[in-house]
Chain A
Amino acid sequence: MKKLFLGVLTALALAAGGTFAGTLDDVKARGNLLCGVSTGAPGFATIDDSGKDVGFDVDYCRALAAAIFGDPMAVKFVGLTSAVRFTALAAGEVDILARNTTWTYSRDTDLKQTFLGVNYYDGQGFMVKKELGVKSTTELDGATVCIQVGTTTELNLADYFKENGMSYEPVPTADNAESQQQYLAGACDTYTTDASALHGTRVNLEKPDDHLVLPEIISKEPLGPLVRHGDDNWADIGRWVLNALVIAEEKGITKGNIDSWKDTKDAEIHRLLGTGDGDILAMVGLPKNAMYNAIKAGGNYGEIFENNLGATSGINIERGVNASWTKGGILYSPPFR
C-alpha cells in the first residue's frame, strides 16, 4: 500500500515536472504572463488607489509581458507573501517570481531556482534621529537597536557589531511596522532593516528632516527575479529582458525617444530594438521587436527606478550602487550580441 502511494506521488511529481518544460509556450497558449509579486513592498509592488498594480517589480513583469506579447498589460499579478513565494513558483502557480527576493546560494541551489540577475542592490541600513549626532554606523557603539527577530537582518547586525568590536542592546520587534513605532517612541536609538524600506519609511515620518538614514550598508541583499530550474530558455528570456532595460539606460534609449534611433550607427542598438537586418531574438522564440516593446512599456531601467523608487515616486532613493557602471554604479549588462 505504502509503495503504491509513493508510486503515485512519484508519477504525479514526474507529470508535474513534465509541464515545466516550455514555459514560453505555456505562457503564449494562456495568453498572459503569471507574475508573482509581493503583496505589499513599498516601491516594489503594491496596488494604487484605483486598484492598479504598480511598483518596480511590477514594471519589470510588464516589460517581460510586452516582450512576449507586445502588450504590457498581458500579465496577471499574483500577490505572494514571503511564506508562500517559493512554493508558488515551484508548483507552477506563477511563471516568474519578481518579489524583491534576495539572491543567495541556497535559494539558487537547494530550492532549485534560477536567479535571472539583480534588478536592485539592496542592503541593510540604519536610521537614527539627527539629534543623536551620529553620522556613521561606526559611532553606534552601545546603542539600543530595534531589530526584527528571526530575519537575516538580525544575524547581519550581530555579525557587523562583532566584527567592529562594538556592543549593542537589541530591542526585538515583530515587523517593520513595530520597529518604526518603537523607534519613534524612543525605545531604541536606531532601527535597522533594508535601506530601501528605511528611505520609504523616513519620507512619511512626521518630520522627515529630523531623521537620517546612515550612509553605510552592512549587508548584501541583491534582489532579483527568478524562475524554476529546468527551463533555460525561459530563464534566458527573463534575464535578457532585464539586461535590455539596463542596456537601454546605458545607451540613453528612453520610452520617449525610442523611435528616434533608426539612423544610429550603433549596431548594438539596432540589434536590441530589432531595427537591424539580423533577428537574434528568434533564438529564444521572441519576436524581432520584443526588446523594443519591453523598453517602450515602462521605459529603461533608470526610468523604472525613478518612477517607483526615485524622486518621482516620493520615496527618494538615490541611485547609489544601482546606477549604471558608466555612472559609478555596478549595474553592468553583458553585451547584446
Chain B
Amino acid sequence: MTNIAFVRKKEIPPSAPPITEVGLIGWLRQNLFSSWLNAILTVLSVYFIVIMLWDFIPWAYGGHWNTKSLRECLDLDPDVACFSVLAARWKQLLFGLYPAEEYWRPTLTFIFLLLAIVPILFPKFFRFFWFSIIYPGLAVWLLWGGSFWSISIVYIGLTFGTLLFLSLIRRYLKNYMIAAILAFLFTAVFFLFISNPLVALLNVILPISLPFVESLKMGGFTLSLIVGVTGIVASFPIGILLALGRQSNLPVIKMICVGFIEFIRGVPLITLLFVASVLLNYFLPPGTNFDIVLRVVIMVTLFSAAYMAEVIRGGLAGLPLGQHEASASLGLTYWQSQRLIIMPQALKISIPGIVNTFIGLFKDTTLVSIISLRDPVGLASTIRADQKWNGIYWELYVAIGLMFFIFCWGMSQYSQYLERKLKTDK
C-alpha cells in the first residue's frame, strides 16, 4: 500500500505560457483572429482601411496651402488637396462675417466659455460657479457689443429680485408663493420703469461699450457654438421641468407638458426653423426687430428640450417606485425628494441619452444654413460661389467635419468620464 514509487516533493516550476497566448501574437489571436469569422472580418477591415488611407494620406499630406485659386492648385498637381481655400478662408469659417478688427471678441468669448463650463463639469472647481452665472451676459455683450450697462441691468434687476425673495422668506413671510409674487412684481416694475433711465444714467457716468455687431455678421463656427451651446444649456433645465411635469399629478400641468413635448417631437426641426425665419415676421408687428439668431436659438432650445424631457423621463421610469415612497416616508417635500433622491439617480441613468441629445443638437445647428444663416456648411457653398474656389468640395467638408468631430468627441468623452465617476454599482 505504501509502496509508492515516486512522490514529487517540489512543485513544478510554471512553464511559460504558449507563445500563441501572450504578447502581440496572443493579443492578435484573442482579439482579431479568435475564430474564422473574426479572422475574415479583420482581414476585410484592414483591407478597407488601407485602401482608404492609401488614397487619403498622399492626397492630404501633399496638399497645396499657398495657391491663390483652385485653378492654380489644379495646374500644379490635380491629384492632391487644395487646402489653400482653408488658408484663405479659415477666418470666415471660424468667425463668419464678423469684422476682422473685432475677432478678439468671439475668441475671448470662446476662452471664457471654456472657463465657465469648468465649474459645471468638475465639482472641485464649483467655487468658481459665479463665473458660470455671469458668463451668459458677458458672452452676449462681447459678441453683440453695445453698452455694457444694458446687459448688466438684467443681472442687477434679477439679483435684486432674488435678494428680495430670500429676505422676504427669512424675515417676514413663511409663504413661498406670496414672496415669489412680490419679488416678481418688484422685478417687473424695475424692468418696466426703472431700468431704462438707470441705464441712461450709468451710460453717462461710466460709458463702457463695444462697437455693435449685428446678427447678420454672425457666422461660421462662432454661430454654431452660439446656437449649440445656448440650446444645450437652456434645454437641460427646461427638459427636466417638462419631464417632471409629464409625471405630475396635476392634470393641467401634465396636459401642457404632454402637449408641448408631443407637438415639438411631431414636427421636424427644419419646420420650426422656417417658422422662426419666415412665419414669425408675418405675425409680429411691422418694424419689430426680433433678432434672427435669437429666434433660431429659441426654436432649437424648445426642440431639444422636448427630446431632453423624454430622455429624463426614461431615467425617472428606470427608478423603482420604492425610491419615491422611501423619500416620502422620510417626510421630504416634493421638491426636496426630487432634488435629493430622485433626480441624482434619474439623471445618472440618463447620462448617455442626455449627451446623445446634446451631440445631436450641436450637429443639427448646421440646418440653419437652409434658412440663410452662414454657419460653416452654409459658408462652404458661399465660398464655392467665388469663382476662385468654384468646384472645391472635399477640403472644405473635411475641415468642417473635423471641427465638429472635436466638439462632439469631447462631449462624448466627458460623458464617459462622468459615467465612470458616478458608477456606484459594480
CB distance from B365 to the nearest CB of A (A): 16
Complex CA–CA separation, A92 to B383 (angstroms) = 27
Say if the beta carbon of B74 comes within 8 Å of chain A. yes
CB distance from B218 to the nearest CB of A (A): 12
Indicate if the CB atoms of A81 and B382 lie closer than 8 Å: no
CB distance from A172 to the nearest CB of B (A): 19
| Partner-binding segment picked from B37-45, B57-65, B228-236, B277-285 | B277-285
Indicate if the CB atoms of B385 and A46 lie closer than 8 Å: yes
Partner of B382, one of A47, A87, A180: A47
* B residues in contact with A90, CB < 8 Å: 282
Q: A49-B89, A51-B97 are in contact. Are A16 and B282 (CB under 8 A)?
A: yes
Minimum CB distance partner of A78 in chain B:
B216
Which A70-120 residues have a C-beta within 8 angstroms of B?
Answer: 76, 78-81, 83-84, 87-88, 90-93
* A residues in contact with B304, CB < 8 Å: none
Give the total of B residues in contact with A, Cβ under 8 Å: 39
Indicate if the CB atoms of A83 and B371 lie closer than 8 Å: yes
Complex CA–CA separation, A46 to B385 (angstroms) = 6
Say if the beta carbon of A313 comes within 8 Å of chain B. yes
Q: A87-B278, A88-B278 are in contact. Are A79 and B372 (CB under 8 A)?
A: yes
CB distance from B87 to the nearest CB of A (A): 10
CB distance from B173 to the nearest CB of A (A): 38
Indicate if the CB atoms of B287 and A206 lie closer than 8 Å: no
Complex CA–CA separation, A51 to B383 (angstroms) = 10
Minimum CB distance partner of A184 in chain B:
B391
Partner of B372, one of A13, A76, A81, A181: A81
Indicate if the CB atoms of A46 and B97 lie closer than 8 Å: no
CB distance from A47 to the nearest CB of B (A): 6
Indicate if the CB atoms of B371 and A84 lie closer than 8 Å: yes
Residue from A42, A47, A48, A83 whose CB has the most chain B CB atoms within 10 Å:
A47
Give the total of A residues in contact with B, Cβ under 8 Å: 47
Indicate if the CB atoms of B381 and A39 lie closer than 8 Å: yes
Residue from A9, A48, A181 whose CB has the most chain B CB atoms within 10 Å:
A48
Which A181-228 residues have a C-beta within 8 angstroms of B?
Answer: 181, 200-201, 203-206
Indicate if the CB atoms of B381 and A203 lie closer than 8 Å: no
Indicate if the CB atoms of A39 and B393 lie closer than 8 Å: no
Complex CA–CA separation, A26 to B382 (angstroms) = 29
Say if the beta carbon of B425 comes within 8 Å of chain A. no
Q: Is the interface of A mostly helix, strand, loop or mixed?
A: mixed
Indicate if the CB atoms of B70 and A204 lie closer than 8 Å: yes
CB distance from A288 to the nearest CB of B (A): 31
Partner of A204, one of B92, B277, B284, B387: B387
Indicate if the CB atoms of A9 and B283 lie closer than 8 Å: yes
Complex CA–CA separation, A25 to B129 (angstroms) = 50
Indicate if the CB atoms of A39 and B382 lie closer than 8 Å: yes
Partner of A42, one of B91, B284, B369, B385: B385
Say if the beta carbon of B5 comes within 8 Å of chain A. no
Say if the beta carbon of A314 comes within 8 Å of chain B. yes
Say if the beta carbon of B386 comes within 8 Å of chain A. yes
Which A2-56 residues have a C-beta within 8 angstroms of B?
Answer: 9, 12-13, 15-16, 18-19, 38-49, 51, 54-55
CB distance from B381 to the nearest CB of A (A): 4
CB distance from A85 to the nearest CB of B (A): 8
Say if the beta carbon of A177 comes within 8 Å of chain B. yes
Interface residues of B (CB under 8 A from A): 69-71, 74, 78, 88-89, 91-92, 97, 100, 216, 274, 277-278, 281-287, 369-372, 374, 378, 381-388, 390-391, 393
Q: List 21 A-B contacts (CB under 8 A).
A: A15-B285, A39-B381, A40-B382, A40-B384, A40-B385, A42-B384, A45-B385, A46-B383, A46-B386, A49-B88, A49-B388, A76-B216, A81-B369, A81-B371, A84-B372, A91-B282, A92-B281, A92-B286, A203-B387, A206-B78, A314-B69
Interface residues of A (CB under 8 A from B): 9, 12-13, 15-16, 18-19, 38-49, 51, 54-55, 76, 78-81, 83-84, 87-88, 90-93, 177, 180-181, 200-201, 203-206, 313-315
